[in-house]
């Protein structure tokens, strides 16, 4: 540390507005924050802790919409975030913070005996720090599925995550060509690391039998 650190001080606020009309529900959220004297880590030539030259500010909007009409329910979200920091009196985007993100989840249910769903999530570009392969990430899309079937007190389910097999290693290596100044051999994680994931199982509900 070149000099003693000053304590960070922050303020934040948010405003929610919700409107419902029949099967449709819509929520709009405005949010923002400001952090004075934020502590930053310099990892280029040496590992240094210091207070940034200016404040960190975040402002954004989130839209959440839901449509429910049996047997279908669909929920969509969209988030726009502007997160900025100061570096030597210059303003730039905060690392590992996507400006755009969105999601869509749909579920269909039949006579309380089965249900199936699909989820799609989009993550936009992000700025990277101290990454030897790239300075900005690529946007990516992650898709998943879930299915469940009821047999008496038993529920059989199957879950499939990231079926698009998005992996950070498909864009660039995870291992650095040489050790970073802070001792790390890997880059920061900005996308899924494990690829496709499948799991299933059985749930048992014995509450009805106990009540008898």
Q: For 121-138, how does the pLDDT look when each residue is reduced to its tens digit (9 = 90+)? A: 999 999 998 899 999 999
Of the pLDDT bands very low, low, confident and very high (cuts 50, 70, 90), residue 210 is: low
What CATH number belongs to 10-211?
2.40.170.20
Cα torsion 149, 151, 155, 156: sign: negative
Lowest mean pLDDT among 38-52, 60-74, 88-102: 38-52
Of the pLDDT bands very low, low, confident and very high (cuts 50, 70, 90), residue 1 is: confident
Q: Tell me which residue of 72, 63, 69 sits closest to 106, measured CA to CA.
A: 72
Are residues 64 and 83 in contact, defined by beta-carbon separation less than 8 angstroms?
no
Domain ranges of the chain: 10-211
The Cα 133–Cα 126 span in angstroms is 14
Q: Tell me which residue of 120, 128, 103 sits closest to 188, measured CA to CA.
A: 128
* The pLDDT value given to residue 209: 55
| Mean pLDDT across the chain | 92
The Cα 96–Cα 188 span in angstroms is 9
Of the pLDDT bands very low, low, confident and very high (cuts 50, 70, 90), residue 181 is: confident
Q: Tell me which residue of 107, 122, 29 sits closest to 66, measured CA to CA.
A: 107
Percentage of the chain lying above the pLDDT 70 cut: 97
Question: How many Cβ atoms sit within 10 Å of the Cβ of residue 158?
Answer: 14
Of the pLDDT bands very low, low, confident and very high (cuts 50, 70, 90), residue 48 is: confident
Query: How many Cα atoms within 13 Å fall on the side-chain side of residue 78?
Result: 5
């Amino acid at each position: 540390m070149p000099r003693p650190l000053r304590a960070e001080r922050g303020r934040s606020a948010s405003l929610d507005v919700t409107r419902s009309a029949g099967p449709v529900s819509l929520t709009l959220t405005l949010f923002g924050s400001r952090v004075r004297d934020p502590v930053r880590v310099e990892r280029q030539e040496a590992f240094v802790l210091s207070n940034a030259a200016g404040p960190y500010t975040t402002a954004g909007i989130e839209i959440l919409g839901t449509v429910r009409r049996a047997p279908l329910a669909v929920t969509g979200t969209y988030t726009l975030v502007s997160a900025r920091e100061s570096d030597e009196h210059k303003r730039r985007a905060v690392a590992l913070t996507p400006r755009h993100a969105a999601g869509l989840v749909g579920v269909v249910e039949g006579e309380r005996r089965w249900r199936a769903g699909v989820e799609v999530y989009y993550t936009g570009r992000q700025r990277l720090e101290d990454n030897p392969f790239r300075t900005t990430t690529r946007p990516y899309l992650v898709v998943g599925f879930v299915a469940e079937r009821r047999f008496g007190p038993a529920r059989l389910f199957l879950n499939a995550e990231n079926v698009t097999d998005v992996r950070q290693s498909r864009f660039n290596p995870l291992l650095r060509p040489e050790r970073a100044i802070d001792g790390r051999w890997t880059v920061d994680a900005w996308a899924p690391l494990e690829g496709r994931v499948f799991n299933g199982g059985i749930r048992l509900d014995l509450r009805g039998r106990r009540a008898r």
